[in-house]
Structure 1
Amino acid sequence: MFTESKFTVIVGAGPTGLTLARQLARHGVPFRIVERSPDPFTGSRGKGLQPRTLEVLDDLGLAGRFRAAGSDYPALLAHLPGGGTHEFRLDETHAPTPAVPWPNMLMLPQWRTCELLADGVPVEFGTGLTGLTPIDGGVRITLDSGETVDARHVVGADGGRSTVRKLAGIGFEGETHEDERMLIADVRLTGLGSDHWHVWPGEGRAFRLGLCPLPGGDWFQLTAPPSPLSPAALVAAVDPSITVTEVGWTSEYRASMRMASRFRSGDVFLAGDAAHVHSPAGGQGLNTGIQDAYNLGWKIATGSPAVLDTYEEERLPVAASVLGISTRLHDRHVAGDDDAMRRDDPVLRQLSLNYRGASLSAEHRPSPGPVRAGDRAPDAPLNAGDRLFDRLRGPHATLLTFGWTETLPDLPIPVHHVPEAAPIYETTGPTLLLIRPDNYIGCATHEVADILTYLRRLSL
């Protein structure tokens, strides 16, 4: 039996579990990551990475690899029932800004996202969880191999049917609409260009078929209402000139909108689909899970019970808000609204999600500007020729100073004087911003004493 006071067991090797593993690894926290499935995931499933997720990947040193493997979303081409076509976009293409270097969603099939995140991560495939018992100072788990493991923390990142959540006795509130289903399949085909996301409307405002070209090969993601017909027959029914040559991963999605009643029970935590499941409308679920892991990883590394208490405080309201957004988009589809396909709400990019008012967001300035404690730290070009994100990248917290001339005490974190970023952060007067390891503003102040107090809170 393995025992280690700081050992964490991650259950589930999807995007959430793999992101957490990378977070723990760079913080030097020992972990094991187990996955019940015998092999890595092979389907396209969640294929959209939001701008905030790209910033997370940049902080993990992976943004370049992801951008090289992915592609921008193409325009949609509707093949109209009466003949002819209509081109449109879910959202307009946004130009990069100094504060937002990657403003558009990146398309990448989920299997490739998992592959890139898993590179170098020692996943134990074919290993499931069967038992979970709280013990003094941690959790004792039993694996389906019969092995017993004593862990300091256990994180359930094992999907909507989470074994960890069930064994921890945490409720999963919400609804599953059995009558609202969608067939999803990965197909290879001939006779169709890959420069558009092709859709075929049905009668009235009904949806009949969609074929979205996936980057990195000649695969398309097929979506259609459930049918007794095969994917090949569904495609042939809308256009006989298109021939499906191969069918890969296939699944039938059921509309589920649920959220765990708690994200923590003692030393057991939930993240990703184990904590919240969404409609795929708006591309929120996978991205929210990655950011759960990004939030939780550094907090586990602090070893501070008080800091760990803030995981649920911060992430549960965010998940509830995002769940509401994706559910409203789903309901528009079901109702056949004219704007059901639009994805131009800036909230979907997840850049505006914040932790304002939470206990780790210390705003001490009497007159703060629009960028406040609890907000995402924006990027900015620096006079040295690099970017602010370059200074923030890594597992450390960072202190940013604006117009500061006083001598600072020795601090256990990097300090960067960045007055050239003041227009983006809209600071006034000598200002100190403590950026947390997950690149949210933790403390905003005009006083050094506030920074020292905050660092003690983070056990730094």
Structure 2
Amino acid sequence: MTDVLIVGSGPTGLTLACDLALRGVSVRVLDGRPGPHRESRGKGLNPDGLEVFARLGVEERMAATGNRRLVLRKYFDGVHVSDTPADGGVLIGQWQVEEILRERLAGLGVRVEYGTRVTGLAQDPTGVTARLADGGSVRAGYAAGCDGGHSTTRELLGIPFEGYTEEKPTMVVGDVRAPGLGRDHWHQWFTSEGGGILLCPMPGTETFQLQSAPETDGDGEPLPPTLEGFQRLFDRYAGIPGIRLTEATWLSSWRVNVRRAARMREGRILLAGDAAHVHPFAGGLGMNTGIQDAAALARTLATALADPAPADALDAYEAERLPVAERLLADTSARHRRVLAAVREPGRGTEAGMG
């Protein structure tokens, strides 16, 4: 029987798997997707996340892959008005973080089992049984749901996801190429009429992560993201002749979600990362908080596996991390409001959500 079954192989699940494997705990990592993605998604590691990765032996690789010297270049109504260094972290695409963690995990003898979807969970006093879509099952001492904001684990456990979701998307995001646009800065165009577009160069690639207010139709309803729509938004807000966006490899809409799980533990099954809490992106805390959840959960599970009466050890995880989630939702909501106000002032940008 495996000691710990981990559902989900994003940064949270992979961090947990590496940490446990380094402690000599046997793990299996299941993911319903057919394989790894190459989407930038969460794109920054802060000092707290890097501290965890230092213990796992991957901090230097993360830093070498990413960029520590990012400069935010701000434009207002088409005019360059200021540059602001963004120090203290590492700009790196989420897919790159996951790739480095997968390689570290493989070096510890564990590989992600893609195409393996969990459809049921049952537990008893000695362990957890996960039923799989192919009719098989996996038995483990404990299980961790690290499977994102739409967590199947959380839904199977019937744990409420408390909070709210705004009805309309407030942003479109994606990965694009922009030949001819300088890659030494995170470009941020804002206007006095409101709205704007941001293009952030992703290290080690030819792509930019694009973020923008969405296009709207004649009734003011947000339109889904498309490459053609990205180009229209770029022309509207940046207005640089000759720059044509190409190769949109990721297209997505983002809406404000402020939610947390009512509890982070159900018996021998625990939640971490976006499965336990989702919040505004301001400050870049999402991926980093999931990484910290994983570090705390690894300590908890290692203690529980060595403890003949593990209930107190398991309770300690929720006691530590649920208040963190509460503060995170309030903090990131306040940061988001600061950013929305700041970008209406010339020379200010996403740095208003930092610190």
Structure 1 counterpart of 2:263, which letter? Answer: R
Match in the other structure for 2:26: 30
1:71 aligns with 2:77: no
Partners of 1:75 and 1:87 within 8 A in 2? no
CA positional deviation for 1:322: 1.8
Offset, 1:87: 1.7
Mapping for residues 223-242 of structure 1, pairs under 5 Å: 223-227=211-215, 228=223, 229-237=228-236, 238-242=239-243
The reply to whether residue 117 of structure 1 matches residue 101 of structure 2 is: yes
* Aligned position for 2:290: 289
What amino acid maps onto 1:223 in structure 2? Answer: Q
Among residues 301, 320, 324, which one is paired with 1:314 in the alignment? 320
- Post-superposition Cα deviations, 1:370-393, rounded to whole Å, max 9, x if no partner, equal xxxxxxxxxxxxxxxxxxxxxxxx
Distance, in Å, in 1 between the alignment partners of 2:353 and 2:165 is 27
- Give ranges in structure 2 of 5+ residues lacking alignment: 216-222
Preserved contact between residue 43 and residue 111 of structure 1 (Cα < 8 Å): yes
Once the two structures are aligned, what percentage of the paired residues are identical? 43
SS of 2:166's partner is: strand
Task: State the 1:218 CA deviation.
Answer: 1.5
Match 2:201 to one of 208, 213, 219: 213
Aligned to 2:79: 84
Deviations 1:24-70 (A, max 9, x none): 11111111100111111211010010101111111111111111001
| Deviates most, 174-183 or 311-320 | 174-183
Partner of 2:35: 39
Partner of 1:451: none
Does the 8 Å CA contact 2:29/2:111 hold for their aligned counterparts? Answer: yes
> What do the CA deviations read for 1:232-267 (whole angstroms, capped 9, x no partner)?
333244323212232111111111011111010100
Q: Distance in 2 between matches of 1:344 and 1:269?
A: 30
Tell me the CA shift for residue 211 of structure 1: 0.6
Q: 2:142 aligns with which of 136, 153, 161?
A: 153
Q: For structure 1, list consecutive stretches of 5 or more residues without a partner in the other structure.
A: 94-103, 347-460
Tell me the CA shift for residue 196 of structure 1.
1.2
CA distance in 2, matches of 1:134, 1:181: 40
Give yes or no for contact 1:27–1:298 (8 Å, CA) kept in 2.
no
Aligned to 2:338: 332
Alignment partner, residue 269 of structure 2: 268
2:14 match: 18
Paired residue secondary structure (1:22): helix
The answer (yes or no) to whether the contact 1:10–1:33 under 8 Å persists in 2 is yes
**1:241-256 correspondence runs (5 A):** 241-256=242-257
In structure 2, the residue matched to 1:323 is: 329
Q: Which residue does the alignment assign to 2:167?
A: 178
C-alpha distance in structure 2 between counterparts of 1:335 and 1:33, whole Å: 42
Q: CA RMSD in A?
A: 1.8
Q: How far 1:340 moved relative to its partner?
A: 6.6
State whether residues 74 and 81 of structure 2, in contact with CA within 8 Å, keep that contact through their aligned partners in structure 1. Answer: yes
1:335 is displaced (CA, Å) by: 4.7
Instruction: Verify the 8 A CA contact 2:283 2:353 in the aligned structure 1.
Output: no
Give the Cα–Cα distance (whole angstroms) in 1 for the partners of residues 297 and 15 of structure 2.
10
Structure 2 Cα separation of the partners of residues 283 and 207 of structure 1: 20
Give the alignment partner of residue 341 of structure 1, picking from 337, 343, 350: 350
Count of residue correspondences: 329
Q: Which of 105, 124, 140 does residue 129 from structure 2 map onto?
A: 140
| Structure showing greater relative contact order (alpha-carbon pairs closer than 8 Å, 6 or more residues apart) | 2
Q: Which residue identity lines up with residue 84 of structure 1 in the other structure? A: V
CA deviation map 1:398-420 (0-9, x unaligned): xxxxxxxxxxxxxxxxxxxxxxx
Which residue number in structure 2 is paired with residue 130 of structure 1? 119
- Stretch of structure 1 that moved more, 276-285 or 71-80: 71-80
> Within 2, Cα distance between the matches of 1:174 and 1:222?
28
Q: Is the 8 A contact 2:283 2:354 kept in 1?
A: no
1:277 aligned partner? 278
Q: Distance in 2 between matches of 1:158 and 1:65?
A: 25
Q: Deviations over 1:111-134 (max 9, x none)?
A: 100100111141011111100112
